[in-house]
Amino acid sequence: MANKVQPDAATALKGLTFDGMTVMSGGFGLCGIPENLIVALRDTGVKNLTVISNNAGVDDFGLGLLLKTRQIAKMVSSYVGENKEFERQYLSGELQLEFNPQGTLAERIRAGGAGIAGFYTKTGVGTLVAEGKDVRTFDGEEYVLETGLKADLSIVKAWKGDAEGNLVFRKTARNFNPMMATAGKVCVAEVEEIVPVGALDPDQIHTPGIYVDRIVKGVFEKRIEQRTVRKREAA
């Protein structure tokens, strides 16, 4: 078995990046994002990226770092609300954006990983989402064709992993990560803990190691995207 465990995020990406590549990046908001690998990807200087991710983090963290350095040419996403630079670049025409309903985005990624070229869905029929796409009628209702998504590189974040690349995600941090792991030609995972092979309960493994090419233990900041607290009551 090839040694999948890497000493750091930069080494984990060595030889995998090139200008114009397509990258899938797991996470939802700032939950479950591969923050160490994003920084390492920025530091490679690779440019003209197409990035497939639910959103683009915030201005100074997550994929927002790649927007700041103008390394992303196109985003395939479903949400832009928390990143002002994302919004600014899109509205000014500096950044291409392929908007997807969130469920459609998840299914397009899952389909790409499963080898499914496309599927028909009712979501988006009669809206801008359906423009230029094949629309067909099934059982008297219209459905729009959506294609599967694949990437040159998938970067994902898990809770635990072993040397064979088996991954366990924690609660909502699972989000887009498992399906993205299957849809990249190469998948690099960062984890909070690397455990011995055999330590993970096979029934609890979310992503089998067959999908993971490299794995690295990260150091995580785990920011909170929006913090809301009650005002302190007067004594």
Is residue 167 in some structural domain?
yes
Q: Is the pLDDT of residue 42 over 80?
A: yes
pLDDT band for position 10 (cuts 50, 70, 90): very high
**Hey, which of 22-26, 80-84, 221-225 has the most confident mean pLDDT?**
22-26
- Is residue 23 within 8 A of residue 155, CB to CB? The reply is yes
pLDDT in tens, 61-84: 999 999 999 999 999 999 877 788
pLDDT in tens, 98-125: 999 999 999 999 999 999 999 999 999 9
Is residue 43 in some structural domain?
yes
pLDDT (mean) for 43-48: 98
**What is the domain range of residue 78?**
5-114+150-217
Is residue 44 in some structural domain?
yes
Q: Is the pLDDT of residue 2 over 80?
A: no
Is residue 230 in some structural domain?
no
Q: Is the pLDDT of residue 153 over 80?
A: yes
Q: What is the mean pLDDT of the chain?
A: 94
Query: How many domains are there within the chain?
Result: 1
Nearest Cα residue to 187 out of 215, 159, 163, 145: 215
pLDDT band for position 235 (cuts 50, 70, 90): low
At 95, which CATH number? 3.40.1080.10
Is residue 207 in some structural domain?
yes
Lowest mean pLDDT among 83-87, 162-166, 185-189: 83-87
pLDDT (mean) for 190-205: 97
Strand partners, 98: 76
Is residue 172 in some structural domain?
yes
pLDDT value at position 121?
98
- Is residue 110 within 8 A of residue 179, CB to CB? The reply is yes
Is residue 39 in some structural domain?
yes
Is residue 158 in some structural domain?
yes
Q: Is the pLDDT of residue 46 over 70?
A: yes
